[in-house]
Chain A
Amino acid sequence: DQQVKQNSPSLSVQEGRISILNCDYTNSMFDYFLWYKKYPAEGPTFLISISSIKDKNEDGRFTVFLNKSAKHLSLHIVPSQPGDSAVYFCAANTNAGKSTFGDGTTLTVKP
């Protein structure tokens, strides 16, 4: 049973437009959510996070939205830039510190 799902394996957007990456989860015990970005041949790097007591967190061009009732979170990147092209993983944490990752979405931003 996959507790964290990223249903879109890939997403392609034009430079300057908005990129929206989605993530769904099933475990209501998750109380902290993170997004990681991964370039080829590198390890994932932390991008942005959100606590379950919030519904939005913003950091520059990146905003994460959390809808607890729908068990859904999304990452918005605006404006998208070619350097944003990477694989994006969402991860969900329990307060015991265990992280569960989704399978990732490959974002391609076209110039």
Chain B
Amino acid sequence: DSGVTQTPKHLITATGQRVTLRCSPRSGDLSVYWYQQSLDQGLQFLIHYYNGEERAKGNILERFSAQQFPDLHSELNLSSLELGDSALYFCASSGWTSGGVNTQYFGPGTRLTVL
């Protein structure tokens, strides 16, 4: 158990809908990362938050947005869903320190299926 929790575990919805994925980081971790893993592909970095502030953006679509709340949990909002958004969405947290040491602890993921 990594200490990172994600809800829901599975989500099935229709095209055009909007969903929210939730992540609670490990206790004490200030950084939260979101990744998308489509079928047979690698981890695509979406966005990084540190202590409530956006730190880095990857290949995140404009239809997607995220935020990190004062209690450090994070939500990833996906709107106007398309079939191609079906994927595993992982959240990771880290206790980032300077010097590049950034071991990320991953949650179990949310499997999103868009029908």
Interface residues of chain A, those whose CB is within 8 Å of chain B, are: 6, 30-32, 34, 36, 41-46, 49, 51-52, 89, 91, 93-104
Contact = CB atoms under 8 A, between A and B. Distances in A.
Contact of A43 (B2, B102, B103): B2
Can you list the 6 inter-chain pairs with the closest CB atoms, starting with the nearest?
A: A43-B106, A103-B42, A32-B100, A95-B100, A93-B100, A101-B43
Nearest to A30: B100
What is the interface of chain A mostly: helix, strand, loop, or mixed?
loop
Contact of B45 (A31, A49, A101): A101
Contacts of B50: 97
A17 B96 CA distance: 36
11 contacts: A36-B106, A43-B4, A43-B107, A43-B108, A44-B106, A52-B100, A89-B42, A96-B56, A97-B31, A98-B45, A98-B56
Interface of B: 2, 4, 31, 33, 35, 41-43, 45, 48, 50, 55-56, 90, 92, 94, 96, 98-109
Contact of A46 (B98, B104, B107): B104
A95 B99 CA distance: 5
B42 A98 contact: no
Nearest to A42: B108
